[in-house]
Amino acid sequence: MAHRIFVLNGPNLNLLGTREPSVYGAKTLADIEASCHEAAKRLGLAVAFRQSNQEGVLVDWIQEAGRDAAGIVINPGAYTHTSVALRDAIAAGGKPVIEVHLSNIYAREPFRHHSYVSPVAAGVICGLGATGYVLALEALSSMMAA
Ligand code: DQA
């Protein structure tokens, strides 16, 4: 059976396409979702793609992934820089997590340079735009094959 991967997106990522396109690019979240499904098909993965502006909803989904998924790709948005709750949920889940950011957070404001998620992530991809999501799925796929 195909490994099930949750691709989770945090606050304001529903606005992609119109939100600061010079920073986040012109692709919408629906475009990114389509790329993820295309990559998943090629890699033999089953992707559940979700977005929420609520921290607690993201925590619930991370817990659900701990029970029902083989791994997580997450772009936590601004919660990256604020959320101990997301960090703790990931640590509790025990499934591999790849943290993705469209922009290069290290080339931006200093408050974006710290991530609560990175220390509990298997890997981090940032600054590569929507391609980062596909690379994260490829990374999880090779981790699962190892
Ligand atoms: C982001 C970077 C965060 O700093 C920001 O708050 C976001 C998007 C990115 O994908 O580049 O909402 O996670």
Q: What is the pLDDT of residues 104-144, one digit of tens each?
A: 999 999 999 999 999 999 999 999 999 999 999 999 999 99
Instruction: Give the position, in ligand 1's atom list, of the atom nearest the Cα of 104.
Output: 11
1 pLDDT above the threshold of 80:
no
For the CA atoms of the chain, what is the radius of gyration?
A: 14
Q: Which residues are catalytically annotated? A: 24, 101
Q: Do 123 and 99 form a contact (C-beta atoms < 8 A)?
A: yes
Ligand 1 proximity of 132 Cβ (cutoff 6 Å): no
Nearest-angstrom CA–CA distance, 87 and 118? 8
pLDDT recorded at residue 123: 98
Q: Over the stretch 11-23, which tens digit does the pLDDT of each residue have?
A: 999 999 999 999 9
In this structure, which residue's CA is closest to atom 9 in ligand 1?
101
For residue 136, report the distance from its CA to the centre of ligand 1, in Å: 16
Tokens of 49: 């793609």
Ligand 1 proximity of 102 Cβ (cutoff 6 Å): yes
Of 33, 5, 1, nearest to 95 by C-alpha is 5
pLDDT recorded at residue 2: 87
- Classify domain 3-145 at the CATH superfamily level: Dehydroquinase, class II (3.40.50.9100)
Tokens of 1: 């059976």
